[in-house]
Amino acid sequence: MLTHPTLETLHALGLHGIAKGFKAMEADPAAAAMTHADWLALILDHEVTYRGQKRFEARAGRAKLRQAAVVEDVNYRAVRGLDRTLFLKLTSCQWIHDHRHVILTGPTGIGKSWLACALGHKACREDISVLCYRVPRLFAALDLARGDGRYAKLLASLA
């Protein structure tokens, strides 16, 4: 079978994950022993994974998270007064679905922005849109939008 036209067709159809999986399966001698159903399931899994990763990358890029923080790296032993059970509850992202807000407060340098970025990253992984603003920049954007007539539009985009 000619794989080059098949790969071109897959790319033309926008099935880049399947094309990548097809190449990987072609190089794997164990793939020849697989049933058609197993082979197809594995190729489709490649496509689902590829699309999920692309969706996450786009969402994380639009979020404008300033730090590459993940909730798995949170150090609960650091002296910052972080309640482990409360933070783990926040990582479920249920507060977002309940239309609640979270405000992180504390002294300078304690890691508030890092924790916010970790929560934002987790929300991006849960297919939730995120936009990161620090309070001074948010207030400046709101003030500017009020002055040039975009206030309602900006508020709607933040909701």
Q: Kindly indicate the confidence band of residue 27, based on its pLDDT and cuts at 50, 70 and 90.
A: confident
Q: What is the pLDDT of residue 40?
A: 86
| 38 and 92 assigned to the same domain | no
| 87 and 49 assigned to the same domain | no
Residue type, 17: G
User: pTM value?
Assistant: 0.74
Is the CB of residue 121 less than 8 Å from the CB of residue 70?
yes
Residue 50 has pLDDT above 70, yes or no: yes
Q: Kindly indicate the confidence band of residue 34, based on its pLDDT and cuts at 50, 70 and 90.
A: confident
| 70 and 119 assigned to the same domain | yes
- How many other C-beta atoms are found inside a 10 Å radius of the C-beta of residue 146? 13
| 110 and 155 assigned to the same domain | no
| Cα distances (Å, whole numbers) of residue 92 to 20, 28, 85, 104 | 32, 38, 11, 17
Burial level of 118, CB count in 10 A (0-12/13-18/19+)? Answer: buried
| 38 and 71 assigned to the same domain | no
| 68 and 54 assigned to the same domain | no
Identify the domain containing residue 11 by its residue range.
Answer: 3-62
Q: What is the pLDDT of residue 134?
A: 84
Domain boundary among 34, 62, 90: 62
Q: CA triplet 23, 19, 68: central angle to 5 degrees?
A: 100
| 114 and 141 assigned to the same domain | no
Cα 104 to chain centroid distance, Å, stands at 21
The string of pLDDT tens digits covering residues 141-159 is: 999 999 999 999 998 888 7
| 92 and 114 assigned to the same domain | yes
Number of structural domains the chain divides into: 3
Burial level of 122, CB count in 10 A (0-12/13-18/19+)? Answer: buried
